[in-house]
Every structure is written in structure tokens, then in C-alpha cells.
Amino acid sequence: MNDKHSEFSLFRILDAAFNRTTEGLRVVEDYARLAIDDEFLSTELKRLRHDLAEAGEGIERSKRMLARDTHGDVGTEIELPSEYERTADRKVDATSNVAPCEGRVEGLEGTIKANFSRAQQGLRTIEEFAKLIDIDVAKKIEQIRYRCYSLEKSYNATLFERCELVGSSLYALVDTQGEWESRIKVLVESGVDLIQLRDKDRTDREIVSIGRRITELTRDSNTAFIMNDRADLANVVGADGVHLGQDDLSVGDARRIVGPSKVIGVSTHSLAQAREAVAEGADYIGVGPVFPSTTKHFEKHVGLELVQEVAAEIKLPMFAIGGITLDNLSRVIDSGVRRVAVSGAIKKPNEVGSIVREFKRCLTHSM
């Protein structure tokens, strides 16, 4: 570039964009690290900053510094009222069976949103102007920008829990054996937070019929209805979400089917799988199997060690699952988890309500 004035302007733009991007990333990283203690998100955001710095080595830092002119920046004098507003833009889903969230910190949500936007806009500016200097640098910045978009999605899922998950502690997995309808009525009346329909022996038509009935039973209650495995059927019956196993659809593919409003959960059996679920944008994860189960066979059990490991690193809502009963619940709570999914423990006829209430009491008092 022969025009010295143009060269000066180019490096001045790049310097401002690098600073703006780094500042935005640092704000959201600090909150992940120091406010919500999320090791996974903190690590990913730090890695993003470091990769940005490494990519920026292809653009001479000395020229960027020499072109810096904060005093002469006309933009520092331009202010808009919206710059100081930090509000959320979430809307209530009219199709959900669950009441809208209350008490959400809108200012905080707006702060996170504003700083991710600042970083993403800065990355776009760097990418476009870097094309005039080094196309390889521009390509690296482009990939960092895409990663930033994905991280924002994971971050929001962790920080701003879905309404269906706020305050949730007890997740009931149910099949359709015996008097399933009366059992679900008791579960809802007793305060179960989520109910998952898990029945692999029924035809699709039967599951749809049953699912629609469960939707009716949970409507206008504080219990969310989750369909196991089948994103398509979750849509058909009007469920609040879908739960995916490791062999089912990816979170992204399921999201294309159920849309943005429904909850998506993922079963995980290792720390790597838990990390992947967060990165893909899951709303919650199940971690297990913790203990031998009477309702589902597993070749091995991950135990409380994995539960502790995941709880220490990941703050996305997680439910410990697998053989959990009132007898071993205290061990689960001691591992750092306040959410559990149960199945066999709530199958005793005439005792479902009392067992659910005792689970809720133990879990609530441990929070």
C-alpha cells in the first residue's frame, strides 16, 4: 500500500477493532470465570483471545500502535442513549406449558449480549480490513468469529436457564406400563419439575396419542413435558422439549426440527461428552449412570466421580441419573449436584406422591 495516509488509516482501524474485540471477550470471560465459576466457558473464551492474538501477529503490532490516536477519534464524542441501556430481548413462548420466568436480571443479560456483539463486530472489521494485508490472517479471523457465535449460544444456555429449568430439581422418567395416566397426575400434583416420556415399545401413533394426553395433564402446571429421543414427535404432541441420547440426533439437527423455543437435553457419560453438549447448545445435560438401575441396563456405571468432575467444570443445568433413590440421594447431593432424574424410585404404587415430596424436600433444602 503506497499511500501513507491510507496505510495509517488502515492500521488505525485494525488497532481499534482488535482492542474492541479483546475488551468484549474479556468482559464475558471475566463473568464466566469469576461470577459463575464455569471452567469450560472460561477456558474456551481464553483460548479464543489467545487465538486472536496469534492470528494478529500477521499484522504488524508496531504499525497498529503507531497509528493509534484515541485523542483524535471522533467516535469518542458520539453517544447514543441506547449505549447505556442493558435490557434483554427475550419473549414469552405462548405455546409453552410452563409459566414465564420471573426475576430474570435483564441488565446482566443485556451486558453479556452487548459485549459479545462488540467482539463479533470487531472481528468482522478485522476480517474485512485484514484482507487488504494478508488473506491468511483474514481467514483465521473468520473462523474465530464463527467460534465466537457458537460460544455466545453456549454461554447464554448456561447463564440464562430456560424457564422450564429455573429452580428445577426433580426430573421423572416415565413409561406407559400400568396406570400411567394416574401416575402422571400424581407426579404433577406432587411438584415434579420435568416429566420425560420414555417408552420404546409403543408405535409412533400410540406415543403421539399418549404424548398429547401428557401435554394436557401438564398444561397450566409447573411441570414441563419432555419427549425422549424423538424431536419430531415432541413437535407433534406439543411437548416442552426433547431429550437426546448419544446415538440420537445432534443438538443442532434437533433444534432445526423443534425450533428455538423448546428445551433440548442430552445424556452424557463422560466429561468430553458433557463439554460437547454444552458446545452444541444443549439447554441441560444428564450425567450418568451413577448407580445400577432397575429400569435400564448399562454395561458400566460412571459413578459419582464423573458427576463431581462435571459439576466442578460445567455450570449448565445438569441432572444426575441412574439408580438414584432416597437411600443414596445424600451421596449425590454431597457430590455437588442439586438436580436428579429418577425412574424406578417413583414406581411404588400408592407411594409416588410421598416419595416425590421427600425428594423435593431433600433437594430444596440442600440448595
Print the SS3 string covering the chain: CCCHHHHHHHHHHHHHHHHHHHHHHHHHHHHHHHCCCCHHHHHHHHHHHHHHHHHHCCCCHHHHHHHCCCCCCHHHHCCCHHHHCCCCCCCCCCCCCCCCCCCCCHHHHHHHHHHHHHHHHHHHHHHHHHCCCCHHHHHHHHHHHHHHHHHHHHHHHHHCCCCCCCCCCEEEEECCCCCHHHHHHHHHHHCCCEEEECCCCCCHHHHHHHHHHHHHHHCCCCCEEEEECCHHHHHHHCCCEEEECCCCCCHHHHHHHHCCCCEEEEEECCHHHHHHHHHHCCCEEEECCCCCCCCCCCCCCCHHHHHHHHHHHCCCCEEEECCCCCCCHHHHHHCCCCCEEECHHHCCCCCHHHHHHHHHHHHHHCC
**Are residue 42 and residue 97 in the same domain, yes or no?**
yes
CATH code: domain of residue 265: 3.20.20.70
Confidence of residue 94 (pLDDT cuts 50, 70, 90): very low
* pLDDT value at 213 more than 90: yes
- Looking at residue 188, its amino acid is V
Both 9 and 90 in a single domain?
yes
User: Looking at the domain assignment, is residue 143 inside a domain?
Assistant: yes
Angle (nearest 5°) at CA 227 between 334 and 282 = 60
How buried is 88 (Cβ within 10 angstroms: 0-12 exposed, 13-18 middle, 19+ buried)? Answer: middle
Domain count for the chain, please give it. Answer: 2
Q: How far apart are CA 172 and CA 196, in angstroms?
A: 6
280 with 310, same domain? yes
Which candidate, 24, 25, 281, places its Cα nearest to that of 153? Answer: 281
Query: What pLDDT is recorded for position 198?
Result: 92
Q: Check whether residue 101 and residue 177 sit in a common domain.
A: no
Are 219 and 96 in a shared domain? no
d(CA 315, CA 338): 12
- Per-residue pLDDT of 66-79, as tens digits, reads 767 766 665 665 66
Could you tell me if 118 and 22 are in contact, meaning their C-beta atoms sit under 8 angstroms apart?
Answer: no
Note the pLDDT of residue 347.
Answer: 86
Please say if the pLDDT value at position 104 is more than 60.
Answer: no
| Within a domain: 33 | yes
Clarify whether residues 94 and 142 are in a common domain.
yes
Please indicate, yes or no, if residue 55 is contained in any of the structural domains. yes
Check whether residue 125 and residue 174 sit in a common domain.
no
- Does position 262 have pLDDT exceeding 80, yes or no? yes
Residue 131 within any structural domain of the chain: yes
Q: What is the mean pLDDT of residues 255-282?
A: 96
CA distance linking residue 99 with residue 90, whole number of Å? 14
Length of the chain: 367
More confident residue, 301 or 182: 182
User: Is residue 121 located within the same domain as residue 259?
Assistant: no
For residue 77, being part of any structural domain is answered with no
Assess whether the previous peptide bond of 289 is cis (omega < 30° from 0): yes
The verdict on residue 165 lying in a domain is: no
User: Does the pLDDT value for residue 295 go beyond 70?
Assistant: no
Residue 287 sits in the same domain as residue 175: yes
Mean pLDDT of 194-220: 95
Instruction: Find the domain containing 194 and state its range.
Output: 170-365
Interhelix angle 135-159/106-130, rounded to 10 degrees, is: 170
pLDDT of residue 7: 86
Q: Which of 195, 189, 200 is nearest to 168 (CA)?
A: 195
112 and 189 part of one domain: no
Of 159, 178, 203, which one is at a domain's C-terminal end?
159
Domain boundary (159, 189, 219) is at: 159
Residue 208 lies in a domain: yes
Q: Are residues 115 and 214 in the same domain?
A: no
Final residue in a domain of this structure, among 137, 159, 181: 159
Say if residue 258's pLDDT is above 90.
Answer: yes
Whether 128 and 208 share a structural domain: no
Look at residue 322 and tell me if it is in a domain: yes
Query: CA 323, 327, 329 angle in degrees (round to 5)?
Result: 70
Angstrom distance (rounded) from CA 259 to CA 115: 26
